[in-house]
Amino acid sequence: MDYAWHTKKVNDIFGILHSNENGLSKEEVKARLEKYGPNKLPDAKIDSLLIIFLRQFQSPLIYTQSRKVRHKIPYLL
């Protein structure tokens, strides 16, 4: 299937999608829901605060920033 949608004419796209400018009929909506299911993303998993905190140490940026802070601490006291 060619996915260069932006190069196609609107009526060609309607034909490919089996639709028209008025949208899908109620019968077609029902058939597609039964075939493909609802157009819904799965619920996102929420990470705990501990996991979020520990994930910060995966990035090398935290180590360069902490080194800068450690060098400045004697001057702040």
Q: Which residue bears the tokens 């039964």?
A: 34
pLDDT of residue 30: 95
What is the tens place of the pLDDT at every residue in 15-69? 988 888 999 889 999 999 999 999 999 899 999 999 998 888 887 777 676 666 6
Taking a C-beta distance cutoff of 8 angstroms, is the pair 30, 36 a contact?
Answer: no
pTM: predicted TM-score of the whole model, two decimal places = 0.46
Domain borders along the chain are 5-36
Task: Provide the CA 77 distance to its chain's centre, in angstroms.
Answer: 46
- The strand ranges marked E within the chain are none
pLDDT at 77 over 90: no
